[in-house]
Amino acid sequence: MADASPWARDDADAIDRALAVDGGHLFVGDHGFTLAYQRGTTLSGYNVAPVKAACIAAGLPVIDSRGLGFDAALHLAIHSPMVAVGEPADAPPWHGLAHAPLHHVAALYHAAGAEVVNLPAVTGAATEALA
């Protein structure tokens, strides 16, 4: 049976690379997606459904912020740290220009109401960091 998603067939290598690197993940926002699969290297686009489905099926961490209100999304975009992908995280405390572990950034988004898939549960400490 043919694969219904051209994403899974054509760009499976990017998903495999994201799975192999510390911090690799898919971020989905109101204006598309960004697949972080190597230090300083991302793949982005607008057709979210097939890439999100392929990443979830592969076990890649996914953060989908489309359900957040504008104020929450803006606050996180400006004040939360970036995910350290393929490089060590900066030392805490983490701020808007720092690189933090994926689980920390995902916990901040989850606490604000974003959908987070394929990651461990949010810790209380990360939830408090959002305040």
CA separation for the pair 8, 29 (Å, rounded): 20
Q: Which of 72, 80, 81 is nearest to 112 (CA)?
A: 72
At 12 the pLDDT is 83
pLDDT at 130 over 50: no
pLDDT of residue 41: 85
Give the position of tokens 């109101």.
30
**Residue 126: per-residue pLDDT:** 47
49: its two tokens: 């459904």
Contact present, 27 and 36 (Cβ < 8 Å): yes
Q: Is the pLDDT assigned to residue 2 strictly greater than 50?
A: no
Neighbouring C-beta atoms of residue 61, cutoff 10 Å: 23
pLDDT digits (tens, 9 = 90+) for 14-69: 999 999 999 999 999 999 999 999 888 888 999 999 999 999 999 999 999 999 99
Confidence (pLDDT) at 122: 54
pLDDT of amino acid 34: 94
- Residue 123, pLDDT > 90, answer no
Mean pLDDT confidence for 99-109 = 95
Confidence of residue 3 (pLDDT cuts 50, 70, 90): very low
